[in-house]
Amino acid sequence: MGHLVRKEDIDDARFREWVRSLIAKMLLGFGKYFSKDCVLNSDGRKLLEEILKPTVRRYPYLKEIARKVRREPTLENVLKLASIFMNGDEARELIREGIREFTLR
């Protein structure tokens, strides 16, 4: 007999994938979303808010990390947020690729 999958689990998986895709967009777009000193610029902060508002609503226990990354939107803090939705190796590889693209311009 097959496993029953709850609608909430499917919705949760879709939501987590949506968040993961936006974080990936941010990391791959390093030159667009971060300043040269590795802090989110205004476009990066807008994308961050697009990620955080629904995320905190859905997962209130992430309020503290959301507060920290809003207050100090450094690459380090963005990577801490990313590690919740993707494994650390994936996040590091995405940022390496984003920085590589930025420096090749």
pLDDT tens sequence across 36-78: 999 999 999 999 999 999 999 999 999 999 999 999 999 999 9
Residue 102: band (very low, low, confident or very high) from pLDDT cuts 50, 70, 90: confident
> Does pLDDT of 7 surpass 70?
no
Domain ranges of the chain: 7-104
Cβ 100 vs Cβ 27: under 8 Å = no
Average pLDDT of 24-45? Answer: 97
Q: Which two tokens stand for residue 47?
A: 């994308």
CB atoms within 10 A of CB 55: 22
Cβ 27 vs Cβ 91: under 8 Å = yes
